[in-house]
């Protein structure tokens, strides 16, 4: 008779009451690093097949999240140089994933939209991230997710929090 081997649940350790000590902060940084690396591994494989990298992924994600997003707002969200964003957008447009239109009220404004191909690619990338995130959320529970969000918001510079909050409001 074979006894099934069960994988132990990776219940995180409880943070010390001295959670601001270096050891506790290092543990948080390490968990963020390894968690993020594991979460994006599947998406990285899809991106590599397309000849894209994580900057392309972030651009696709935010354009999908806010169709009609201006190039200037995307530049601010990604916090990269104009040159880097220009390269990323040129490559996404050349592959038929993104289109630009001129703003109705300001003709200097360039508004970004995903094409059907871009939407399909972004959906595949999101599905890779969603599976891992949903599993982790389910294991942690609602109050832990709320605490996790609070920590992540705390990592965002105060002057950028309204921009980030605006994404969830459409």
Contact 158, 76 (CB under 8 A): no
Determine, yes or no, domain membership for 130.
yes
Residue 161 has a CB neighbour count (10 Å cut-off) of 12
Q: What is the dihedral of CA 40, 46, 50, 53, to 10 degrees?
A: 10
What is the CATH classification number for the domain harbouring 125? 1.10.10.10
Domain total of the chain: 1
DSSP state of 131: H
| 167 located within any domain | no
Q: pLDDT of the chain along its 170 residues, tens only? A: 554 444 445 556 777 788 889 999 999 999 999 999 999 999 999 999 999 999 999 999 999 999 999 999 999 899 899 999 999 999 999 999 999 988 777 777 899 999 999 999 999 999 999 999 999 999 999 999 999 999 999 999 998 888 888 887 65
Q: Is residue 168 in some structural domain? A: no
Q: Output the pTM of the full model.
A: 0.84
> Has residue 149 been placed in a domain?
no
């Amino acid at each position: 008779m074979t006894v099934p081997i069960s994988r132990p649940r990776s219940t995180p350790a409880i943070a010390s009451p001295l959670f601001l000590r270096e050891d506790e902060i290092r543990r948080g940084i390490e968990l963020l690093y390894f968690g993020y690396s594991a979460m994006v591994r599947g998406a990285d494989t899809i991106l590599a097949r397309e000849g894209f990298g994580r900057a392309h992924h972030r651009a696709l994600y935010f354009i999908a999240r806010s169709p009609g997003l201006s190039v200037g707002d995307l530049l601010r969200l990604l916090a990269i140089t104009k040159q880097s964003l220009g390269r990323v957008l040129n490559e996404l447009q050349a592959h038929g994933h993104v289109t630009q239109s001129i703003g109705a009220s300001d003709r200097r404004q360039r508004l970004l939209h995903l094409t059907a191909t871009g939407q399909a690619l972004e959906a595949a990338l999101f599905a890779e991230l969603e599976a891992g995130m949903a599993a982790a959320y389910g294991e942690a529970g609602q109050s832990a997710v709320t605490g996790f969000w609070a920590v992540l918001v705390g990592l965002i510079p105060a002057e950028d929090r309204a921009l980030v909050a605006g994404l969830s409001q459409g």
